[in-house]
Structure 1
């Protein structure tokens, strides 16, 4: 998984805490997490295309959650950023080379490696689909949400 997934989940969590503050620019989010603006922008655009974020253009524009935190799962974010393809792709190497010579009935069923990987991936996907941004908010100390809002407001004040 790319670092973009971590960034995407943290941005969604931060935007949930900043609900009501208006759209948050890519530059502010990039500064908040000290990550490259252009790479973060790609992640935010993918989340927008998936309907997780909404984008407001213009000088006062930026990003906000497009849905309630309760309706955004971690699997939604992963799928938006990494795609829906299976993580493990069995190419049936057991049927290749010398090991595959003379094989018969054992090749009619998926191999044990493929079956084990599929079970693990399904468990992983179920767990991510069961966790929402709201769950992350609830599991975080209230101080995290308050600190985020306070620091964001300080960051938004004009310089003297």
Structure 2
């Protein structure tokens, strides 16, 4: 299975924001430079994270993005769902009229286990492994 590149960037962005000191903001330009991508592309990802209620944008000279939620609560799964949506990764479409697709059952169970794991894993667990976030602000 494969997540989009946008999910990769969203997870990295959220990790940087979780690592920031409380109340600090960081601009889209800085976040984009850290990941080597265009601010325009990253802005689209940030918009999805704002809509999901994880971050907010503060305008002005000292503006930028910051968390809106308790950093200890932010899971990998929430970020993934904000970018990818919540649709199942697998859909059984064998073209036959079966009572149920046996393969779908196996795939659904595997997906549920993966989602349970990602829901339990919090971004804050990785903060100690992030470089010097003070260089951002």
The two structures have a TM-score, normalised by structure 2, of 0.88
Deviations 1:34-86 (A, max 9, x none): 11211111111100110111111234321001112111111110111111111
1:148 to 119, 124, 133: 133
Q: How many residues align?
A: 135
Question: Partner of 2:46: helix, strand, or coil?
Answer: helix
Deviation of 1:21 after TM superposition, in Å, equals 6.2
Q: Which runs of 5+ in 1 are unaligned?
A: 101-106, 154-160
Question: Partner of 2:56: helix, strand, or coil?
Answer: strand
Deviation of 1:148 after TM superposition, in Å, equals 2.4
**Pair member with larger Rg:** 1
Question: Looking at both structures, which has the greater relative contact order when contacts are Cα pairs under 8 Å and sequence separation is at least 6?
Answer: 2
Q: Give the Cα–Cα distance (whole angstroms) in 1 for the partners of residues 23 and 34 of structure 2.
A: 15
Aligned residues of 1:19 and 1:64 also touching (Cα < 8 A): no
1:111 maps onto 2:119 in alignment = no
1:121 to 91, 100, 111: 111
Residue 134 of structure 1 is matched in structure 2 by 124
RMSD: 1.7
1:55 maps onto 2:45 in alignment = no
Residue 70 of structure 2 is matched in structure 1 by 68
The two structures have a TM-score, normalised by structure 1, of 0.77
More helix per residue: 1
